[in-house]
Structure 1
Amino acid sequence: MSGEQLVVERARKAFRTGKTKPLEFRLHQLRSLHRFIAERRRDIADAVKKDLNKSEHGTELFEILGLEAEINVAIGKLAEWAAPRPVEKNLLTIADEVYVQPEPLGVVLIIGAWNYPWAITLQPLVGAIAAGNAAVIKPSEVSSHSAKVMEELLPLYLDKELYPVVTGGVTETQALLKQRFDHIFYTGNSTVGRLVMEAAARHLTPVTLELGGKSPCYIDKNCDLRVACRRITWGKFVNCGQTCIAPDYILCEPSLQNQVVDEIRKCIQEFYTENPKTFEDYGRIINQRHFKRVMALMEGSTVAIGGDSDESECYIAPTVLRDVTTESKVMQEEIFGPVLPILTVSGVDEAIQLINDREKPLAIYVFSPDNKLIRRVIAETSSGALVANDCLVHFTVSALPFGGVGNSGMGRYHGQHSFDQLSHLRSCLIKKLNMEGVNAMRYPPHTAKKMGWARFFLLQQVNPGRLGRMATMAMITALAAFVVQRFFRRH
């Protein structure tokens, strides 16, 4: 038996004891996870510094705060999320107990990503714990220092059998994917996403795939370019461009291109100084393989800002490319680095067409003061999310479902969406063994008269919560008496 198989079987055995079912146990684990983050802030920051050259405050802002917020929401709302959810009934079931009961799926596999190794790995874990699952956690081996810290320290805070951390590379991940899970949650690229889905299909395991894609950013000629470019510059160059929802390319009219370049140049200098290479809040490409990949994407394009690099440090300066076309190398795949191409379009019509001719992105950004134009982009395109007049910030709203569509992924998480995604929403109907006369309409022989009554009882929707208990009971009694007297009495 392989080590991975043993880990999964141990987690399943622990889950089957039922210890994750009580809400108090889940709350205790969530509070322990919060304590882990609070007590191990320095260890986490040191690891991320070694992996991505991110500053301590940068790690706090982009890794820790969102995770803390997610845990706080789950702790505060868990009783509400886990409670039975009453639903509307028809007249035939008005006397019955009808509700949706969330229940744990079982053992969940969480495969994290290297670009935000803590937030992206542990936010799904919050949902898994809240929903009452066991979870096998597989951090990305590419962010090796973060993976090592997670492996060493997380078991000191969480139940070791229910929430084991498995480290390693492709071999270990493939070994895990051979095991049967009750849900697989993967964050990464679409190529590996397909392999994860293929492996899951062998066990009919549902998947959440948080993938990426080329997220477009349309700038309307009437918007405040200074503010728009500040927000785009921030969204693009955070984490050295290694963000799945970063604006991947700009679409604007030809008359705007020079102004956009000038404004972004000013913002880069303001945010990262004249020499970003020596500035503590400007990161690095994760490794040399990705460095070479990003540098190769720039070939054949005109550099308007930046372009300098240092392979020994995996450093690429904040870079803007101008006069890019859809055939350019940089437009053939997600950039996932600090390179921002500008494509010129005649207006919003061409921008929408260009967006729709490509795979559905994880996000679409549109900058415009015109609400009609924004509504039109929403109505005529499809993406995981749409944000107007800002970048990235939708990720911070727990009530918004975060996820892709089409090539950018499937499934969603954050807040209650995480809980629901990693729960089975079980349909429950509890009937009493009385009032059998009302059921006679469904039994053979089927007659036109019975059909008429069935139509009446089945097609009338009733919301008992709005009626109130006394009114509901009165209606049930009156209906039962009416039906039995007028239709079901024996002649």
Structure 2
Amino acid sequence: MGTIEAEKIINRQRNFFQTGETLAYEFRKQKLTALKDMLKSYKKEIYQALKNDLNKSEYEALTTELGFLHTEIDFALKHLKNWMKSEKTETPVTHKGSKSYIQKEPYGVTLVMAPWNYPLQLAIAPAIGAIAAGNTVVMKPSELTQSTSAILADMIRATFDEGYFTVVEGAKDVSQQLLEQRWDYIFFTGSTNVGKIVMEKASKHLTPVTLELGGKSPVIVDKDAKVDLAAKRIVWGKFTNAGQTCVAPDYVYVHEKVKLKLLRAMKKHIQSFYGKKPLQNEDYVRIVGKDHFDRLHAFLADGDIVHGGNVNDEKLSIEPTILDKISWDDALMQDEIFGPLLPVMTFRSLDDVIGEMKQMEKPLALYYFGETEQKQRHVMTNVPFGGGCINDTLYHLANPHLPFGGIGNSGMGAYHGKYSFDTFSHRKSILKQTTKFDIPFRYPSGRLSKAIVERLMK
């Protein structure tokens, strides 16, 4: 795609936005409803695309991709009218006679750049917020999941005017060309390194951004945790989508007194979820591509494999694997793993773990397992992270009342539920002044005005 074509796409959308059609509640409601109907109509094709790209089963596609989107759309439709209302605010006595309010205004032409790990959910979910807030959308899916990219392009082309909502497919050069353009808002989900490039490009036009990135999200299992339940929830959170989840547990810190018990329980639950031979499980998700597979495969040389470790080069599959005797010097501890490898490390003092984590980059998520409320509060208060759970993993994502987003290296901004609407809305401050009278002391008219102002400001 060349510069002229990219400019043509944006100009077409800017012209559509400037008609004012997207400002109306009924228009936004109709488009959200059309989006929901589209997902239902193309359900069969969506399942097949996700199977082609990542070997996702229909169950996993439903629970981690489609189901989430239906919930988000329903939530937006239920609350949209209320979200759009202007917010009345207080006005100080110095502004007697005036009224103040905040009006929610769409940014305009928005770019949504989606990753490959949840190629449907993470493409459509931000678009829900953009549509609800009254923007137009240009979507750039990942080229690594070609089947899902193609079905996104087909079904959105069949459902929406391209001047309002369109998909641009292509590789890295297409993304680069899009980022050279002037957007009103950019929403990016992906790696921290690429997120920095997106922010740099956006800065040339002072375009606001949301960056949903990643990081090494820790799990802490304390000595008073309900170990079997913790193991079950850790295994579920880690190996869903073969560990290719931005908020997947990246590594476990377990208290030395319960380590062996946790390892045994995690092995048990891996077998329960995926069978004794996961590589023969037809529904086990594969690694997205050869480069990513090779990177993960090399990590198997670190530490000791206590469970799993088998791979299938042809299918690009790696078993759910637990690694022990890991240190921070090992290669797999340098960056986010983003695969079905779970390093386990041991601690004696919770404060030592907290102190260590405070020195590291802020992760997208943190999960603490333990029954003592004081320790729960202590961890949640003293370790910075985007969002997380106490005695669970991943589940905070599915609550539309909670904002989802990172901090520091793991991202900026948040979305889901109303927070998606807020992300794509500018809060415009408005003061409506009375014309029935005019307060004289606001004007420079001598000592009396000065005295009155001084008294009001005390």
Q: In 2, are the aligned partners of 1:442 and 1:450 still within 8 Å (CA)?
A: no
Partner of 1:413: 415
Structure-2 residue corresponding to 1:324:
326
CA displacement, residues 9-64 of structure 1 (integer Å, 9 cap, x when unaligned): 11111111111111111111100000011111111110000100000111011001
> Which sits farther off after the overlay, 149-158 or 207-216?
149-158
Give the TM-score normalised by structure 2.
0.97
Question: Tell me, what secondary structure is at the counterpart of 1:354?
Answer: helix
Determine which of 183, 196, 199 is the counterpart of 2:198.
Answer: 196
Instruction: Note if contact 1:324-1:342 (Cα within 8 Å) is conserved in structure 2.
Output: yes
Q: Is the 8 A contact 2:243 2:338 kept in 1?
A: yes
Partner of residue 125, structure 2:
123
- Cα 1:455–1:112 change in 2 (3 A) is same
Q: Secondary structure at the match of 1:255?
A: coil
For 1:267, which of 266, 269, 274 is the aligned residue?
Answer: 269
Q: Which amino acid aligns with 1:281?
A: D
Whole-angstrom CA distance in 2 between matches of 1:163 and 1:439: 52
* Contact persistence 1:117–1:146 (CA under 8 A): yes
Following superposition, the deviation at residue 439 of structure 1 comes to 4.2
CA offsets per residue over residues 117-155 of structure 1, 9 Å max, x none? Answer: 111110100000011001101011111110011111212
Answer yes or no: is 1:306 the counterpart of 2:308: yes
1:269 counterpart letter in structure 2? Q
Deviations 1:80-136 (A, max 9, x none): 111100112212235322100001101000000100011111010000001100110
Could you tell me which residue of structure 2 aligns to residue 288 of structure 1?
290
- Greater gyration radius: 1
The CA deviation at 1:454 is: 2.4
Alignment of 1:81-230 (within 5 A): 81-230=83-232
In 2, the alpha carbon distance for the partners of 1:130 and 1:396 equals 19
Q: Secondary structure at the match of 1:303?
A: strand
Report the Cα distance in structure 1 between the residues aligned to 2:445 and 2:351, rounded to whole angstroms.
Answer: 60
**What residue number does 1:334 align with?**
336
5+ long unaligned stretches in structure 2: none
Q: 1:166-214: CA deviations, max 9, x gaps?
A: 0001010001001100110000000000000011011110110000000
Q: 1:21 aligns with which of 17, 20, 23?
A: 23
Alpha-carbon shift at residue 371 of structure 1 (Å): 0.8
Q: Percent identity?
A: 38
Code of the aligned partner of 1:193: G
CA distance in 1, matches of 2:443, 2:306: 74
Deviation at 1:223, TM superposition (A): 1.0
CA displacement at 1:254 relative to structure 2: 2.4
Q: Which residue of 1 aligns with 2:441?
A: 440
Task: Check the 8 A contact 1:299/1:329 in 2, yes or no.
Answer: no
- The one-letter amino acid of 1:274's match is K
Moved over 6 A (4+): none
Q: 1:443 to 1:313 in 2, by over 3 A?
A: same
Structure 1: stretches of 5+ with no match in the other structure: 457-491
Match of residue 390, structure 2, among 388, 391, 399: 388
In structure 1, give the amino acid aligned to 2:430. C
- Could you give the per-residue CA deviations for residues 348-384 of structure 1, whole angstroms, max 9, x where no partner exists? 1111012112100001100011111010011111100
